[in-house]
Amino acid sequence: MRTMMPTLLVAWVGMMGIAMADTHKFIPQNGVATYAVRPPVLRVKPGDIVESPTMAKPGDYYEKEGGPWPGEVGPFFIEGATPDDTLVIRILKVQLNRDTAVSFVRPAGLSALATDGRLRLLNDPLPTRRFVWQLDRQRNVGTLDLPNSRSKRIEIPLRPMVGRVAVAPAGEEAFGGLWPGAFGGNMDVPDIREGATIFLPVYHEGALFYFGDIHAAQGDGEVCGSGLETTAVVTMQFELVKGKKIVWPRIEDADHVMVAGSGRPLIDAFRIAHVELIEWLVADYGFDKMDAYQIVSQAGTARVANVVDPLYTVVAKFPKALLPKERK
């Protein structure tokens, strides 16, 4: 399960003669509303690269107030994936392909800082607001006019991320696009971006991979319920770790190993992420459990990814620089 540079890996897969990796330029026709078992829209082999835009439709959410969510892309069937395996997705590139991003505040919308459908109080709800950000893809910044504020305008750095990466959940359940969970889904993790590798459990033959929901930028917790919601062309490479099972999504980038735990209340998402991170350090890096608990306590960091979705997501992180070079 060592991270390798994708090009090397492709070469290696080729040398091993397992199968020649392909690059698929995929154009999704219809977005889907749930993470579930359904017929695949694309079949890929381990090692294959897929380049695909996220879903968009004329008149959708990205284009006008009240427009519907266009749905997720997928599922992709990864050949050879079985419930004994772990699916690996390398995010090779995330290229924004639109000049605007939208963000919402709605009375019954998701919110961490106001009443919503899951936090019901007697207070009056907040009013509706739709913010339209301009994306300058050359300078990699987003700007928003703020006519009611003294400074009139803000400009923030862009850091595109993929809000949703999922496999079909265990059993016969079908979770709507807003749900995160052990199967991945709408985790809204800013670390799932260009250069990151995602590991997801596999519950069904072919894994049945879904993705979507680009945020050009997003603060921790996504507190108003939406990031800079936009679209992009995403380039991903798929791999399998055969015979390895994980319980919650894992992420690696240049600096950290990470676990994304989802749950409510927030502390339970925090606990899931950290306990599974500790179990990872024990299983793959040879730490005693109490030792792993101690070093995560002293050198671990945590990110609150979302506190607005049906389950909240917390990412527990540990610096790779502090880990032994050799994994089991």
Q: Which is nearer to a second copy, 8 or 321 (CB)?
A: 321
Residues of this chain, 226-285, that bind a second copy according to CB under 8 A: 226-228, 261, 263-268, 270-272, 274-276, 278, 285
Residue range at the interface with a second copy (CB under 8 A); choices 2-10, 51-59, 194-202, 292-300: 292-300
- CA dist., res. 258 & res. 29, Å (int): 33
Q: Give the C-alpha separation, 75 to 34, whole Å.
A: 10
Give the nearer residue to a second copy in terms of CB position, either 46 or 263: 263
For 48, 196, 255, 283, 307, the CA distances from 35, given in Å and listed in that order, are 22, 22, 30, 30, 20
Residues binding a second copy: what is the number (CB under 8 A)?
A: 89
Between strands 42-44 and 197-201, the pairing is unpaired
Burial of 295 (0-12, 13-18, 19+ CB in 10 A): middle
- 322 is a site residue for a second copy (CB under 8 A): yes
Residue 161: CB minimum distance to a second copy, A:
12
Nearer to a second copy, 47 or 142 (CB): 142
**CB closer to a second copy, 138 vs 298:** 298
**Minimum Å distance from CB 147 to a second copy?**
9
Give the single-character DSSP code of 245. Answer: -
CB of 47 to a second copy, least distance (A): 31
Which residue from 105, 165, 189, 258 is in contact with a second copy, where contact means CB under 8 A?
105
Instruction: Return the residues of window 151-210 that contact a second copy according to CB under 8 A.
Output: 151, 154-156, 171-176
138 Cβ neighbours under 8 A, 6+ residues apart: none
Q: What tokens were used for 266? A: 């927030």
Segment 41 to 100, residues that bind a second copy, using CB under 8 A: none
Residue from 166, 322, 306 nearest 249 by CA: 166
Tell me if 297 contacts a second copy by CB under 8 A.
Answer: yes
CB of 12 to a second copy, least distance (A): 26
Q: Which of 235, 307, 309, 313 binds a second copy (CB under 8 A)?
A: 307
H or E element: which one contains 291?
helix 289-299
Binding mask 33-52 for a second copy (x = CB under 8 A): xx-x----------------
CA 299 to chain centroid: 24
Indicate the SS3 state at residue 23: strand
In the complex with a second copy, the residue whose CB is nearer, 85 or 116, is 116
Token digits of residue 226: 């939406």
Kindly indicate which of the ranges 22-30, 32-40, 89-97, 200-208 contains the residues binding a second copy, using the contact rule CB under 8 A: 32-40
Residue closer to a second copy by CB (options 43, 129) is 129
Please give the angle made by the CA atoms of 92, 90 and 251, to the nearest 5 degrees.
125
Scan for tokens 């798929």, then name that residue.
Answer: 238
Residue 144: which H helix or E strand, with range? strand 141-146
Stretch that binds a second copy, among 2-10, 51-59, 108-116, 193-201 (CB under 8 A): 108-116
The whole-angstrom separation of Cα 56 and Cα 59 is 9
Rank residues 46 and 169 by Cβ distance to a second copy and give the closer one.
169
Rounded to whole angstroms, how far apart are CA atoms 316 and 276?
A: 9
Give me the least distance between CB of 17 and a second copy, in Å please.
34
Which region among 2-10, 21-29, 75-83, 128-136 touches a second copy (by CB under 8 A)? 128-136
